Amino acid sequence: MTIRIRHDWRREELLALFSLPFTELLYRAAAIHRERFDPAEIQVSTLLSIKTGGCPEDCAYCPQSQRYSTDVQPQKLMTTEQVLERARAAQASGATRFCMGAAWRSPKDRDLPKVTEMIREVKALGLETCATLGMLDKDQAYALKDAGLDYYNHNIDTAPEFYEDIVHTHDYQDRLNTLEHVRDAGLKTCCGGIVGMGETRLQRAGLLQALANLPTHPDSVPINRLVQATGTPLHGIKELDQFEFVRTIAIARIAMPASIIRLSAGRETMSDALQALCFMAGANSIFYGETLLTTANPKIEQDQSLFTRLGLVPMPYAGTTVHTDIVE
Ligand code: SAM
Ligand code: DTB
Ligand code: SF4
């Protein structure tokens, strides 16, 4: 079967998918998942916060913003040797991609050579590399590419019309501009969002619409469930219904059939059964390791046991199991 990659999703179509009976939606998403991927394979990424806290931006969900009083202790940029030690440990425990995150609005010129050195050395270990450092200009994107970076993570986070309720220090167009620089430099894109921030279903459909209608579908799409961090403006907000979260994953799978969909932040408070439903709905990647950037993630042994119980295996390298022709 040939699946068509679309960039013309209308919001009503996505809303109609949200309205399907839950089991029908999962059935459709699971069928599409099998056209492109081996459903037993899960891509395994490990995150490391290489520079923590003290961020000048005001993203309402983020414990690393200096504007909020949170539990995060700011830490300056790690050394390459510290990063390598963590990368070796991630590799030894089974991760194939290592994602380095920095709480920056954008990298400063003095920081970039340090980060490119880390990227070169992590890549030399045989890991896929990803970085998330905030906004990039064209030259910075090319410098990261030259260092051997594989993926750049930059999320659009929510529907365009809701973004200004969540962030006031940069705008949606800034996010799109960075994504353009990332694509132009030939980097793979990792771009997704957060649900459970008080958005409406229409706005969840708007997030998925914006992702699926980017000039090319992101190679990886992290779907984060808000981790409510103490001190952030979104702490205490009503939690998103669990099945609505699974629906969001399923519709991401349907709208972006060839992308890796990552079940990202928020797994720590999900039951094994809920995570299994997310894998059924087409999620085929996780963050693996006991911390995300600053907040908790399930223990490694717990994830290993979940994989065994569900018959899941780590994907050797993302996107190697092509079963069908993709038509743009
Ligand atoms: N500073 C850079 C930026 O904002 O692009 C990179 C790091 S930032 C922490 C990366 C992503 O983490 C955000 O875009 C957001 O999707 C996610 N994130 C941050 N705090 C979160 C939270 N409390 N719950 C879920 N996801 C979160
Ligand atoms: C993404 O979409 N989620 C990750 C990664 N990309 C960088 C970050 C999640 C952060 C959760 C809050 C924290 O641990 O600070
Ligand atoms: Fe800073 Fe990124 Fe957190 Fe926003 S999400 S406050 S830019 S670290």
Q: What is the mean pLDDT of each run of 10 residues along the chain (328 residues)?
A: 88 98 98 97 97 98 98 98 98 95 97 98 97 98 98 98 98 98 98 98 98 98 98 98 98 98 98 98 97 97 97 76 42
**In angstroms, what is the span from residue 311 Cα to ligand 1's centroid?**
30
The C-alpha atoms of residue 156 and residue 69 are separated, in whole angstroms, by 25
59 is an active site residue: yes
pLDDT at 316: 86
Residue 100 CA to ligand 1 centre (angstroms): 12
Among residues 208, 191, 203, 231, the alpha carbon closest in space to that of 59 is found at 231
How remote is the CA of residue 92 from the centroid of ligand 3, in Å?
Answer: 29
Ligand 2 within 6 A of CB of 257:
no
* pLDDT reported for residue 317: 66
Counting ligands in written order, the one closest to the CA of 48 is: 2
Catalytic residue among 99, 225, 247, 278: 99
State pTM to two decimals.
0.96
Which of 130, 191, 225, 253 is catalytic? The answer is: 130
Substitution candidate for ligand 1 out of 132, 182, 195 with most atoms within 8 A of CB:
132
What's residue 250's pLDDT? 99
- Distance (angstroms) between ligand 2 centre and the Cα of 5 equals 27
Instruction: Provide the phi-psi class of 271: left if phi over 0, else alpha when psi is between -120 and 50, else beta.
Output: beta
Q: Which ligand has the minimum distance to the alpha carbon of residue 46?
A: 2
Is 99 known to be catalytic? yes
